[in-house]
Structure 1
């Protein structure tokens, strides 16, 4: 199943474009989210209204749509999907892809994307057999583009031969193979994220400023490489990732229980900002002022150390345990000491001083600390950090 996987569907201009309507429906039946993009030529065969109605999403059509550029931008659109599918892939689109031509929205997206691309060619048999098309096909394959079809059969033009777009079930199967394939296929990875809320009374709690954005990005990146991800999250502001098993918790104790329930795993990434302490005896009733000016006395107890608990397991320890260290001063030394103290394999250290804007922000600047030393990464978006970390993880535990 494709639960939560995001497919950017580029619909080219050809008679086979009518099949794209069924393709949208079939992908959605399997749990995928489809974002449609149409070329000008495609609108001669199917209407944007019908595509939008079936997809339940806006159809993107214009490269220089100021509203779209303000809200998302063609670069972000090209990278927000797990897979880009071109169906039908006309001879014109294939030529643009092979030669790096980016004159409209569809071709620009195909050049700008950093995700895998699957094409379903469809054209007249003579166009398919033409030497230029075959050269373009080989170029695209060498570039890593996946291809499904074309089939042989009767064509709308009255000719017979190869060039018919693959049938929808074939394309769906190719999409599933592409999305469920990857270096982490068959691996189970546990990810924690967000803050924990430790209750003081029924209406108050102790927490921190973690938004959960970095953990969500890591879970999404690992799933994109084919991993089965169990995502244990505290009450984060950021939306939960799609295509993963989400377990929602509130407190550190609940998070530890969920983590232990989620094991065994091939790797575990502890990105959650777990509260170090909890109120030892939280009040069952709201604590009220009594007018005396006396402050309530709160006694604290240490929360369980989830990272250390998993890192120091004798049996069932993941092959790779990754912790996070959010520090405000002497970041590298404190994080290095934390790695040794906790017993984890890697620590991802970052400076969360207020002036950095990292805690709760959209960017991060991290140093990855491991047994062989450390490597500092430049400041970048949290999804880019997640993609880079996921790639490093796949080098260690990937098949």
Structure 2
């Protein structure tokens, strides 16, 4: 990013409070930032703040007599290496999709001949609205890049997709947008699930498994390194999530299902999480105590949603769905049957019986099962497995074979 110039259009949303940090991070990468502040954006941050941090004047009107004497909006739109819109509100997205040009920001976006990257941010209902999704599809068809939005708590008190991606994630997307030719998954969106799920029994106890989340984390990082925009849906893993991806932290299988659903559409999905098959019905809201009878409590169990089967048959199914089969015996037979039963394209099968040391360990030994058969990979580090899988995914999505 060194020496690059970013034209940063700041929309009107509460997430505009993150823009000063975004400017700091962009400049720390050696790029220059020219801020454009919309009228609504000025309700959440000030021209003085943006100007001081960017080290440049803030542009906020189409009717500046000095700059417009030289057709300033055209110069602004053409002098940048990349135009970034953050936060990209529903209104801004609609203006871009419809080609409106009634203020400085929309005029710049219509006049630019440079790539545009938007970071959507809005209420979850607004994000899910058919009009917003139609506009999003139009923008993508027009070649506009997107980063986010993330899932999480909203300023309005609701929860779901619509939070603006974190500044670090936006910077990673800017870096990718400035070097698109070098990465085969640039412009692709991949969902990765990872880690275990925790199914509560009471406020202090839960049902879980020994998954560390290391393999899913490595896969997300490998896909990111190939240029993909990664939505990383992770349960309570023992490893930290990778940088440069959109992290959606969940606890239960039902929360993971909802997060995956909200992250669609996507080009590919890698379901690497070790999802619990069952949850406790009516988990207690108080710590359960011994009653002196010597008898353990009786739990009623219910089946969790089958995320892999659901996404394999979803209306907006990704082009490629990859599942994982962690087995302790008859690995290939069980995994082959699972692929057919779930309806996914590939299954990564591995033996997680205790002697292998794979579950929770640093290595993995997998067999890739597809409609062409079973391909055994040598035992290697989980980062290496992730790299091989990411290359296969890139080749598949780009119509190549390895």
TM-score calculated relative to the size of structure 1: 0.56
- Call closer, same or farther: CA 1:175–1:249 in 2, change over 3 Å: closer
The match for 1:195 is 196
For structure 1, which segment, 316-325 or 277-286, has the greater mean C-alpha deviation from structure 2 after superposition?
277-286
**Structure 1 residues 184-333: aligned runs within 5 Å:** 184-313=185-314, 315-333=315-333
Given the alignment of the two structures, is residue 354 of structure 1 paired with residue 323 of structure 2, yes or no? no
Deviation at 1:178, TM superposition (A): 4.0
CA contact (8 A) 2:176 2:186 kept: no
Q: 1:377: how far off?
A: 0.4
C-alpha distance in 1 between matches for 2:233 and 2:31: 26
Q: Secondary structure at the match of 1:310?
A: helix
The 8 Å contact of residues 193 and 272 in structure 2, kept in 1 or not, is answered as yes
Q: Please, what is the CA RMSD of the aligned residues?
A: 2.3
Unaligned runs of 5+ in 2: 3-24, 33-173
Once the two structures are TM-superposed, the CA of residue 212 in structure 1 deviates from its matched residue by 0.4
Alpha-carbon deviations, 1:110-169, whole Å to 9, x = none? xxxxxxxxxxxxxxxxxxxxxxxxxxxxxxxxxxxxxxxxxxxxxxxxxxxxxxxxxxxx
Conserved? CA contact 2:180–2:186, under 8 Å = no
**Mapping of residues 1-399 of structure 1, within 5 Å:** 26-27=28-29, 177-178=178-179, 181-313=182-314, 315-398=315-398
1:24 deviates by: 11
Question: Could you say what secondary structure the match of 1:383 adopts?
Answer: helix
Aligned length: 236
1:180 Cα deviation from its structure 2 partner: 7.8
Aligned-pair distance for 1:25? 6.6
Question: What CA distance in whole angstroms lies between the structure 1 residues aligned with 2:244 and 2:224?
Answer: 7
How far did residue 301 of structure 1 move?
0.6
Q: CA deviation at 1:26?
A: 3.0
Q: What is the Cα deviation at residue 241 of structure 1? A: 0.9
Q: Distance in 2 between matches of 1:179 and 1:367?
A: 32
Once the two structures are superposed, residues 262-318 of structure 1 have per-residue CA deviations (whole angstroms, 9 ceiling, x without a partner) of 0000000000000000011211111100111011001111000000000012x2000
Q: Any idea what SS the aligned residue of 1:281 has?
A: coil
2-structure distance, mates of 1:256, 1:325 = 18
The answer for the alignment partner of 2:73 in structure 1 is: none
Q: Choose 1 or 2 for highest CA Rg.
A: 1
Quick check: 1:276–1:303 contact (8 Å CA) kept in 2? yes
Q: Is the 8 A contact 1:179 1:224 kept in 2?
A: no
Unaligned ranges ≥5, structure 1? 3-22, 31-172
Q: What displacement does 1:28 show?
A: 7.6
> In 2, distance between residues paired with 1:261 and 1:174?
26
Deviation of 1:179 after TM superposition, in Å, equals 7.5
For the Cα contact (< 8 Å) 2:203–2:284, is it kept in 1? yes
Do the aligned residues in 1 keep the contact of 2:176 with 2:227 (CA within 8 Å)?
Answer: no
> Residues 180 and 226 of structure 1 are in contact (CA less than 8 Å); yes or no, is this contact kept in structure 2?
no
In 1, Cα distance between equivalents of 2:175 and 2:271: 33
> Which runs of at least 4 in structure 1 moved beyond 4 Å after TM superposition?
173-176
